[in-house]
Amino acid sequence: MSETKPPDAPKPASAAKPPVSRERAQQARRRVLRTILLTGGVMGAALSGFLPQVYARTKRLRPPGALDEKDFLASCIKCGQCVQVCPVQAIKLADLVDGVGVGTPYIDAREQACDFSCDAVQCILACPTGSLVYKKPAFLGVRKGAKLAAAPILKAKEKDAEPTLNLSERIGVARLTRPESCLAIQGKGFKGQARGAAYGGRMRYMEVDRWKPIKVADHPYDVAECDLCVRECPVKGAISIETVFAPDGTRRKSPVVHEPCVGCGVCEMICPVEPSCIVIDAREVWNT
């Protein structure tokens, strides 16, 4: 950074030119160069901001009521108010390396799923920019199969005067990805803590406390035939254990996902097999 000055540089004696010393002119030139460099730097940084879009291969689960990804990225102001209201802290903000836009909210269902224990989809209520909505404004299209046939009935509120969740579109669909490992299909039961003693995820258990979610680790199971994904699914009629025929012709029990599935991820979170046999396809629509 040294500004080397030639000792006693001869001054141009031209009278016609405006009196700008050589040093001054040089300084000005350097300044222009620096300005161009910093302009390039700022623009480069700006472009790096688009990387998440380029690498948006990993589809992440967005909070309930999220607009389609492109509209979501356009409207999210990255304030985290949805994070703050969630009673089970299912929502996290993406970091630089997550590839889904710095500061935008997402849900890692296996870590902590949305179990709707807030009863009212409070993240939508908290969103100041309409990135999360109960119902999309008219000018935004609804993808085929994204719309729920009926307002989902929350099992926890089934006896209430208003048992439904204010949610018009699904955020994903559950899929049995590893049927070969599914305990239900193998006809096995499950005993113990669903995700082990160290697991920190929480859930609302109606029989324990309607308003206070507790640790999954504090709620051990003992079932003769594993049905945890069905048992803990918060939405009525979204998943059930059905009798199916395996390729070899034998009769098996298997969890089957139905149209009311909103993609909350509780099944993925509670599955006691590692890794989970059932996962949410984020932003997937219902295909009949």
Partner 1 sequence: MMNPYLKRRFLDQIAVMFGREAKKPDAISEPAQKIHELKRMTNKERLQEAMLAHENAKKVHTWRNRRWAVLIAVNLFFTVSFWLDIQILEGALTASRFIGFHLIDLNSALQVMLAHKHIITNLVIGTGTVFVLWLLLGGRSFCSWVCPYHLLAEWAEKIHLWLVKKKLVTDQNIDRRLRTLSWIVFAVLALATGYTVFEAISPTGIVSRALIYGPALALLWVLALLVFEVFFSRRAWCRYACPIGLTYGVVGIFSPVRVKYRLESCFHEGDCRKVCLVPHVLDTVIKGRAVDTEIPIGPDCTRCGLCVDTCPTGSLTFDVKGLSKLL
Residues at the site binding partner 1, with contacts judged by CB under 8 A: 1-3, 31-32, 34-35, 38-39, 42-43, 45-46, 48-50, 52-53, 70-71, 73-81, 83-85, 93, 95-97, 101-103, 126, 128-130, 137, 139-140
Min CB(137)–partner 1 separation in Å? 7
Our CA angle for 62, 64, 67, nearest 5°, is 65
Q: Which is nearer to partner 1, 143 or 191 (CB)?
A: 143
Closest distance of CB 244 from partner 1, Å: 44
Query: Nearer to partner 1 by C-beta: 137 or 247?
Result: 137
Using the minimum distance from each CB to partner 1, give the nearer residue, 43 or 256: 43
Cα–Cα distance measured from residue 285 to residue 287, given in angstroms and rounded to the nearest whole number: 6
Closer Cβ to partner 1, 97 or 149, answer by number: 97
**CB 123 → partner 1: shortest distance, Å?**
12
State the nearest-atom distance from the C-beta of 61 to partner 1, in Å.
18
Q: Does residue 184 contact residue 253 with C-beta atoms inside 8 Å?
A: yes
Reported as half-sphere exposure (CB side, CA atoms, 13 A), residue 5 has a value of 10
Could you give the CA distance from residue 275 to residue 174 in angstroms, rounded to a whole number? 15
Residue 17 in contact with residue 24, Cβ under 8 Å?
Answer: no
Q: What distance separates the 2 farthest-apart alpha carbons in the chain?
A: 104
- For residue 239, the SS3 value is strand
How open is the CA angle 217-220-222, to the nearest 5 degrees? 155
Which DSSP category does 61 fall into? Answer: B
Closest listed residue to residue 264, CA positions, set 140, 24, 93, 91: 91
> Nearest approach, Cβ of 126 to partner 1 (angstroms)?
7
Q: Say how far apart CA 61 and CA 281 lie, in whole Å.
A: 8
State the minimum distance, in angstroms, from the CB of residue 211 to partner 1: 14
Positive or negative, the CA dihedral 204, 267, 225, 191 is negative
* Nearer Cβ to partner 1 (49/192): 49
Q: Tell how strand 202-203 and strand 91-93 pair up.
A: unpaired
Whose Cβ is closer to partner 1: residue 78's or residue 143's?
A: 78
State the nearest-atom distance from the C-beta of 177 to partner 1, in Å.
Answer: 29
**With respect to partner 1, which residue has the nearer C-beta, 52 or 63?**
52
Of the candidates 276, 251, 249, the one whose C-alpha atom is nearest the C-alpha of residue 265 is 276
